[in-house]
Structure 1
């Protein structure tokens, strides 16, 4: 057979079947080529090598809008920042579940779910007995069994002292049989004190964690596009470039400032609220008003023959909080309104005091203080704080005032004084140290020292104060408001801590 015939058969063979590129073809010639045909044979050899090269790489293929020279893994992940590619669409679908969080394969015994079916099968073996494991260790005295031959090889290597995981540091010759041992070694020996095995590799981040799951959860905090706003306004305006936020707090701040909770009723003219809780409370008022209108329409016929009843501020609907004090049958729409009523009416508290020098008026409600300042002192601030409809005082409470003095009975009432004495005797509250302020600031300092200064709001009083408190914050405000002394926060906190410690010793 001639050399040309042999090459023709080889070319046909290479063109019809994709043989591996590593297979070698040897040609044995019994005689030299014919004269004048050397160039022809050289060209044919070059053509044959090109066919082999094309079988190895293949023509370029467009994948996700990009040319790829190796079409073997043509199914590439489309998620941003992920370069994974697979040769089968089923493998790509399994990988995309790691982005979406979908875990369709669930164990019927313990209800655990997994991304892949093979993972579920591997987990299902954990519910079987140890005798079901087919691979048994052949070493003397060892009866351990394993599910896979790989696990058995690793175990046998442990018997033989094989330590494949070596420390990467130049001056360290330590090696370990398991990878987690190497991690712990690097964290303990070659890292700063307190470093844990799993370290964050983000620049300028020195945090480390005990498990890989904790590290993965922490790595999400470095993602600048971790959260995005899904409000309809942001979606329509920034469809091509959505608004991303690195932290949950930043997203919530964006929602509060750009998309605050808004009342949908036309009568409110787009009134906004700081929180969803405030909007829900406001919507409840709309529902109550609608119910009151329905009840008024039904009772309109009955009021034709009789004198209509006087309407209460806020209506009669929804007053579920009733005062439990004897002889008092007032009801309110919220627990806060009921608490304010008890403190002002039954306990005699007057927390809103006039700040003008020489004026010792105090009131139970802020809007009454503002009215007093506008009338008596000509203050320009005549605005009144908005109260809930059911928390406004009645006509019998609007003119209630009290003189500021050191007699606790006149300030807050006899009931409060008795309750304060009971708490102090039971060790549940502390008494105001005034006028003996030397015990508050210590024996090494004087009352006129830098730690304590008198305010000009109130004159100095010498009577004993029966004010009871449990927090250092309350005492500091009380000393400034009632006695005119301003004490440093650290001094008051130390004094209160020492008195509370005495309760338990």
Structure 2
């Protein structure tokens, strides 16, 4: 069975074909070896190394990259016992039959994943070793797979041949255009098998599935933490290396994450792109907007499993749950006291250091706690508090963490 495919390997380094007899879709990737062809256009036949499906490929005149001669189809003497396709080599037949049997004999030595094809195993293991053998000649960046290098090299030319009909955006790869057009159409073809959520991109559903399975395949080499996404691992590793590649355009601060520098720069520009739909307040971060809007809706989505209390923020729920568990993870380095909240520890440590960061704006007195300076300032403004404090001294309030309010 042959498939006539018209592709341009300058733009796309793989093609997808579908076997009509057994309804199996496979991806034919460009081999790692480049061979320049004398002819501007030709038809060649080569076989997918993983599944052994013969493909008749027509190359456009734009490209001079062809598969090596060892991929040309020879006499087909090996027949599949399941679907009766014939193959030129026994190894092709063996690889093809794994479609039917589901056998994945090649196991990763770093994790428990298995693969049907040795080349796919090799590519996967590079995610563990960090090996990137395919290097760009223009900028020196390296990649784990050749098709990633090919896509990257187009960024140097500035060419984006795939343009969206609904907006002005254009893309380097056709696959990126197809994914983008789903934003306009609302099509979300990838549905979660554990819940009702669906997604535009395949990698997004893979990441989402891990929230159900708990899988964290990306592990830090410097500590025992692991992560659901490679991007999060890279950002975490910067905590060990101290690398902060994203620098503010307005000051000398730098950040480990791109989102952090974008959010920070809004403190300089005053930009607040996230506006509340219930009032006229705006925010620099989407998370801050969502928290604020719960003050209007009274929504408290984070509920305690041990009692009936619920909270607007997950962090508040975590702190509350420590009241039930008795957990106090924050320990003072100067004494043996433990605290349920980090803020309690910070305030406690000021008793050792003598630091009083909160200064009265009416006189020269300073205080350990913000609540205490607010209470003190009422002695200047003559503002009456709603509930008087029964403790006699401010020091008693600071030791207990209570708000001290004097009776007038």
State the TM-score, normalizing by the size of structure 2.
0.32
Choose 1 or 2 for highest CA Rg: 1
Q: Which has the higher strand share?
A: 2
State the TM-score, normalizing by the size of structure 1.
0.26
Q: Which has the higher contact order (CA 8 A, sep 6+)?
A: 2
